[in-house]
Structures are given as C-alpha cells and as structure tokens.
Amino acid sequence: MLAARSGAPVLPVYVDRVPGPAARLRGERLRVYVGAPLRFDGPDDRRRRDGKAYRRIAEETLRAIYDLKEEHGARKAGKRGCGRAASSSPFPAVRRERG
C-alpha cells in the first residue's frame, strides 16, 4: 500500500448524492466530504510490511470514510429520517491528525 510505504497522509473522502444525467441538467450538485488527514507511520508500520499492517491501514481508512458518511448522513436524518447508527459499523475508532 502506497500510504504504508511512503508515510504520506491519507485523506478520507466520502462522495454522496451523485446526480444522474437529468439531475445534472437541472443543476444538482455532487456532494463531496473530505476528512482530516490520517497518518500511518507508527513504529510497527516502518518495520513490518505484512498483511496485518496493510489490513489495519485499510480498516482505519474505511472507518474514517464511514465516519464521514455517518456525520453527514446524521444531518440529513433529521430532515428525511435516514442515516446509519454510529454503532453499526464494524470498524474501531481512528486517530486523526489535527492541524
């Protein structure tokens, strides 16, 4: 995985409401949400490049994307009654870089 090998931060991105061709003609917009950068440069990531390390990085990245979906889905839930419960995701919490 490029993030594990390079140490570059990963930006979790959630794309919501991709409008169809007719909707685009009516002026509907694509909604994109970008989360805080994630860094995967812990001591175990530098020393070991095995399947477990890559799986952990993938799970943390997916968790951050699911968090974006839940955060923005919760805003819509008040209006339309949709959204996913925070406890329904199989992924643990993710550390985020602030700054």
Tokens 């985020």 sit on residue: 96
- pLDDT, mean over the chain: 74
Tens digit of each residue's pLDDT (9 = 90 or more) over 49-93: 678 888 889 999 999 999 999 998 755 544 443 444 444 444 444
Contacts 24+ apart (CB under 8 A), 66-70: 66/91, 67/12, 67/35, 67/94, 68/12, 68/13, 68/14, 68/33, 68/35, 69/14, 69/16
Instruction: Name the CA radius of gyration of the chain, rounded.
Output: 16
Q: Kindly tell me if the per-residue pLDDT of 45 is higher than 70.
A: no
pLDDT of amino acid 66: 95
Could you tell me what percent of the chain has a pLDDT over 70? 64
Strand partners, 88: none
Strand partners, 17: none
pLDDT of amino acid 78: 46
